[in-house]
Amino acid sequence: MTLSVNKISKRYGNAWALKDVSFEVEGGSVIGLFGASGSGKSALLKVIAGSVKHNGGTISLDDNDITLVKPKERNVTFHDGSEEKGFKQIFGYFGGGISSGEGQFDRFEAMIANAGRVLLLDDPFSQMDPALRDAAFAAIRKATKQRNRVVIFATSDFDEIMGLTDEVAFLSRGEIMQSGTPHDIYDNPATIEAARMTGENNLFVARRLSSSDDDLPEFHTIDGEHRIFAHRADKKRLGPINQNMTLAIRPESVSMTIGVSRPEDNLLRATVKSVNFRGATSIIEFDADGLSIKTCVLKVPALQPGDECMLGLPPHRILILKD
């Protein structure tokens, strides 16, 4: 079974809520629509469900065009998690406690069994605590594969994307800006917005130097005036020489060394600003001559604000982002 969404557009007045949105999803799969509030996630679910009219594009299920089919005849079930009689009532979680786990799994499986071939969920986990949410993830994955259903859910929480989906479409201003596996989106966010929404990220502005080449592009950071080499990128993303670009590197990709004294390319002397304990990890914030950088470590380090370290920024982990 395949659900195909082809060049769907939706306009409210003069504003486009969706612009040429296209994707396919196979039966037995969960796809996440991920983006900020107002990005078009809910509008897209409603168009697929047939509850709102759209301005262009087609929707097909197993090569059968359902674009003009009435909502009740589409074999599509839509649950809005914000509705009092929606998702939370169906699963009966609230007031039942987590001890009734087997019954909760049965409810999920029964709901998916009784749903249409396509199940649409709009922000379904917002009122669940982490333990309940994890149980929901496991039940949905199991039942979706067993019943060969298509599940599409919308969220602005990337933890939910990582925990549940096979594929993710990142929406911004009504367009799919990037799609792939959650791992793809996390490791290689294409835009500044995607980098910010997918977890902790060090973002800094840098100017591409005239001596730079495409294989190992060279930059000069605006804050701190450090020379940085980044990962190879296509020419469209690199932009012209001497243009300011935004670079990104995840805190867990920044290495930390105590006792090294001489800065060099991609190795910066920095001073500890703060240490934040977060259970399994700690986030350490540094200042490198005005450039703020965070690193993530597994153990609580014996560091105090004011201590000096050397930070390594591996070129292959530095991304060049689009606006």
Whether 235 contacts 241, CB under 8 Å: no
* Rounded alpha-carbon distances, angstroms, from residue 262 to 12, 89, 251, 287: 58, 61, 22, 16
Distance CA 24, CA 168 (A): 11
pLDDT at 260: 56
CB atoms within 10 A of CB 79: 22
Does residue 85 register a pLDDT over 60?
no
Measured torsion, CA atoms of residues 234, 238, 239, 245, in degrees rounded to the nearest 10: 150
pLDDT at 84: 42
Strands (E) across the chain are located at 2-12, 15-26, 29-34, 56-61, 64-65, 76-80, 118-122, 150-155, 167-172, 175-180, 202-208, 218-221, 227-229, 244-249, 255-257, 267-277, 282-288, 291-297, 308-312, 319-321
State pLDDT tens for residues 34-60: 999 999 999 999 999 999 999 999 999
Residue 204 C-alpha from the chain's centroid: 20
> What pLDDT band is residue 94 in, cutting at 50, 70 and 90?
very low
pLDDT at 95: 41
> What pLDDT band is residue 108 in, cutting at 50, 70 and 90?
low
More confident residue, 283 or 79: 283
Distance CA 65, CA 175 (A): 22
CATH of domain 2-188: 3.40.50.300
State pLDDT tens for residues 145-154: 988 999 999 9
Q: What is the mean pLDDT of residues 174-198?
A: 96
Pairing of strands 2-12, 56-61: antiparallel
pLDDT at 82: 53
State pLDDT tens for residues 278-318: 888 999 999 999 999 999 998 777 889 999 999 999 999 99
Distance CA 289, CA 204 (A): 13
Distance CA 194, CA 321 (A): 9
State pLDDT tens for residues 68-78: 999 999 999 99
Does residue 99 register a pLDDT over 60?
no
Whether 49 contacts 66, CB under 8 Å: no
Does residue 243 register a pLDDT over 50?
yes
pLDDT at 100: 47
More confident residue, 168 or 279: 168
**2.40.50.140, 1.10.3720.10, 2.60.40.10, 2.60.40.420: which CATH number matches 200-321?**
2.40.50.140
Q: Which residue has the tokens 């986030």?
A: 283
Q: Quick one: tokens of 277?
A: 């304990």
pLDDT at 187: 94
Contacts of 32 (CB under 8 A, 6+ apart): 152, 153, 154, 155, 160, 161, 164, 165, 167, 168, 169, 182
pLDDT at 22: 97
> What pLDDT band is residue 96 in, cutting at 50, 70 and 90?
very low
More confident residue, 94 or 305: 305
CA nearest to 115, candidates 143, 155, 81, 157: 143
Q: What is the mean pLDDT of residues 212-238?
A: 82
Q: What is the mean pLDDT of residues 184-198?
A: 95
What percentage of residues in the chain have a pLDDT greater than 90?
Answer: 63
pTM: 0.87
Break the chain into its structural domains and give their ranges. Answer: 2-188, 200-321
Does residue 110 register a pLDDT over 80?
no
pLDDT at 66: 95
Average pLDDT, the chain: 87
CATH topology agreement for domains 2-188 and 200-321: no
Q: Comparing 70-74, 242-246, 262-266, which segment has the lowest mean pLDDT?
A: 262-266
Q: What is the mean pLDDT of residues 215-221?
A: 88
Residue 153 C-alpha from the chain's centroid: 13
pLDDT at 98: 42
